[in-house]
Amino acid sequence: MRLLVALGGNAIKQAHEKGSSEEQFRNCKITTELLAQVVARMKKDDRLIITHGNGPQAGNLMVQQEAGKAQVPAQTMDIVGAMTQGQIGYMLQQTLLDYLRTHGVSTPVLAIINQVLVKEDDPEFFGEVASKPVGNFMTEEEARQLKAEHPEYIVKKVKPTGERAWRRTVASPDPIANCEDEAIRRMVDAGIIVIASGGGGIPVVRNEDGALRGVEAVIDKDLAGERLAEVVKADTLLILTDVELVRLNYGKPGEEKLGELSLADAKKYLAEGHFLAGSMGPKVKACVRFLEWGGKRAIITSLDKAVEALDGKTGTRISK
């Protein structure tokens, strides 16, 4: 088995938390303890590849830079992506190594900083289309206040229910390819647990002369994770979020939980607009792409149900 696990933001920072180092390390320990259990059950030739989001961390870092820009120049969004890749990769790498040791597993773990290619003319870069949530969740009143203070920001409701359902959104171009694909593939083949494409990877475009250049964006980690799955030839894509099962009509009358789901139905529900662009939409879209590429199974579930979902006992399990 080659398993790619895409960790949601709740694996590192809960919505109600401020995002202190202590909080984030605590969440990473919970997350990597579960991942260590998965690794401990793997056979010699099985492989685990990990990717993760960075929305809360990137948003908070941009807030810090805004507050301190009079003294220290603010960095561009691609640099922020690289910084948070390193931050989160460090926490996951350290805690996973610790838990693997308690299981008697000596598999090496390595977090890398890598770039993901996007198109400069992607629709996400124009108008109010930007769909990637960053920073903390807000109430509607807090969202109005942020917009008043920063008219250039795009602020949207990204959850259908709940008081704190609003977030700032930034451009989220579609990932085309992983720029460090060969290096990642070699490490995975060698048996290293690789943490890559963190936060969707650093978004870059290619100039006419072939040189790479960073752009102001945050790539969706699930869509970038699917591209990464292709690179490492994964057969299973496991997307971990804050709900055990995907639902139709979420938060509305007629809400329906989805367990076993065919690829055809997943495409149908996606086309019908059942899933929000800033939350479940990219996850289902990533699963569809993965199966169409040649993956065997795609699963969406909550972090605490990861092991059970892999055993086929829960989660939304999508297959051809």
Residue type, 320: K
Kindly report which listed range (28-42, 57-71, 74-88) carries the lowest average pLDDT score. Answer: 57-71
Predicted confidence at residue 134, as pLDDT, reads 80
Q: What 3-state DSSP class applies to 298?
A: strand
Structure tokens at 145: 């206040």
Q: What percent of the chain has pLDDT over 90?
A: 79
- Give the pLDDT band of residue 314 (cuts 50, 70, 90): very high
Res 319 pLDDT > 90: yes
Task: Give me the catalytic one of 13, 159, 221, 305.
Answer: 221
Q: Looking at 20-24, 111-115, 249-253, which range is the least confident one?
A: 249-253
Going by pLDDT thresholds of 50, 70 and 90, the confidence category of residue 92 is: very high
Whether the predicted pLDDT of 14 surpasses 90: no
Lowest mean pLDDT among 57-61, 196-200, 207-211: 57-61
Give pLDDT, residue 11.
84
Angle at 107 between CA 104 and CA 111, to 5 degrees: 130
Confidence of residue 66 (pLDDT cuts 50, 70, 90): confident
- Is pLDDT of 9 > 80? no
From 8, 159, 199, 283, active-site residue: 283
Among 8, 53, 132, 315, the active-site one is 132
Q: Average pLDDT for residues 174-196, to the nearest whole number?
A: 98
Per-residue confidence (pLDDT) for residue 28, from 0 to 100: 95
Contacts for 53 with CB less than 8 Å, ≥ 6 apart: 6, 7, 8, 9, 11, 12, 199, 200, 221
What does the pLDDT read at residue 18? 85
Dihedral angle computed from the Cα positions of residues 231, 232, 236 and 239, in that order, rounded to the nearest 10 degrees: -70
Active site residue 44: no
Buried b (16+ CB within 10 A) or exposed e, 104-119: ebebebebbebbbbbe
| Superfamily of chain region 2-234 | Acetylglutamate kinase-like (3.40.1160.10)
Q: What is the pLDDT of residue 291?
A: 98
Closest by Cα among 250, 213, 247 to 115: 213
Average pLDDT on 294-311 reads 96
Measured distance CA(291)–CA(230) in Å, rounded: 10
- Verdict on whether the full-model pTM lies above 0.75: yes
257 is catalytic: no
User: Strands 236-241 and 297-302: what pairing?
Assistant: parallel
pLDDT tens digit sequence for 253-293: 888 999 999 999 999 999 998 998 768 999 999 999 999 99
Confidence class of residue 112 from pLDDT cuts 50, 70 and 90? very high
pLDDT in tens, 211-245: 999 999 999 999 999 999 999 999 999 999 989 99
Indicate whether 307 pLDDT > 90.
yes
Active-site hit among 8, 10, 13, 199: 10
Q: Which DSSP category does 173 fall into?
A: P
Average pLDDT over residues 297-320: 96
pLDDT at 286: 98
Q: Does the annotation count 283 as an active-site position?
A: yes
Structure confidence at residue 62 (pLDDT): 87
Domain residue limits, the chain:
2-234
Phi, psi of 128 (to 5 degrees): -100, 20
Q: pLDDT digit string (tens) for 129-163? A: 898 888 778 999 999 999 999 898 999 998 878 88
